[in-house]
Amino acid sequence: MDFGGPQLVLGLTWYAAFLFSTVLHEAAHAWSAYRLGDPTAYHGGQVTLNPLPHIRREPFGLVLVPILTFALSGWMMGWASAPYDPYWAVRHPRRAAWMSLAGPAANLLLVIGAGLALRAGLAAGIFGLPTRISFSQLVSASGGTVGVATLLSILFTLNLLLFAFNLLPLPPLDGSGALPLFMSERMALRYRVFLAQPMLALIGLLIAWQLIGPVFGPLHALALRLLYPGL
């Protein structure tokens, strides 16, 4: 991939959107856990939007992998994590479930915020309807607004993808951690113990990777219809 000029700017825009979205997701987990009685992530410095504590915890997932995936495919993939006390999660499975939902909720708020900003730009005439839609281009723009349009487009689609992927009810994803909300206390306790098996995470990720395409496609189409009502 050519990294001269426009492609370098696109890569930096992608990284800014990816880093902010991922850090906000993990900070939401950390903040909600702290509010619900588990200060582990708080003491680890993860209750912050400062990316440095998160990068120190996951340098591979927040720096190396995003750069490599963009260089190879033109979009970014990576991960981060916030520590929590597993014994707290076993003792309070419903609290842990709400903590699991906090990350995807943060991504959904970014989707809504970016969507409202795009709609406002269209209404004000700052942005226009695009000739084609891509991950990085949901509106057309010119001059000094191109960078803003690209950043908002990436934030919208990337966070929609993060929201959908993390809500898949498979370990180790957040959707799996939220399932105790629909269980009895006794069943939720057994479920949290069951999730501690290490092989479940690998199996869950392999299945989730196969499911996200069929799930995200219709969701993305619905989001675009909401973004462009009547089009």
Q: Which of 14, 23, 26, 161 is catalytic?
A: 26
pLDDT at 120: 96
- Catalytic residue check, 26: yes
pLDDT at 3: 58
**Domain presence at residue 155:** yes
pLDDT at 1: 55
pLDDT at 2: 57
**Domain presence at residue 219:** yes
Parent domain of 221: 6-227
**Domain presence at residue 174:** yes
pLDDT at 189: 83
Give mean pLDDT in consecutive 10-residue pieces for the chain, a chain of 231 residues.
75 97 98 98 96 96 96 91 93 94 98 97 93 91 91 97 97 95 89 84 93 96 91 67
**Domain presence at residue 131:** yes
**∠ CA 167-55-162, rounded to 5°:** 20
Total count of domains within the chain:
1
Distance from chain centroid for Cα 181: 21
pLDDT at 5: 75
**Domain presence at residue 1:** no
**Domain presence at residue 85:** yes
What CA–CA distance (Å, rounded) separates 96 from 75? Answer: 32
Q: How many CB atoms lie within 10 A of CB 210?
A: 8
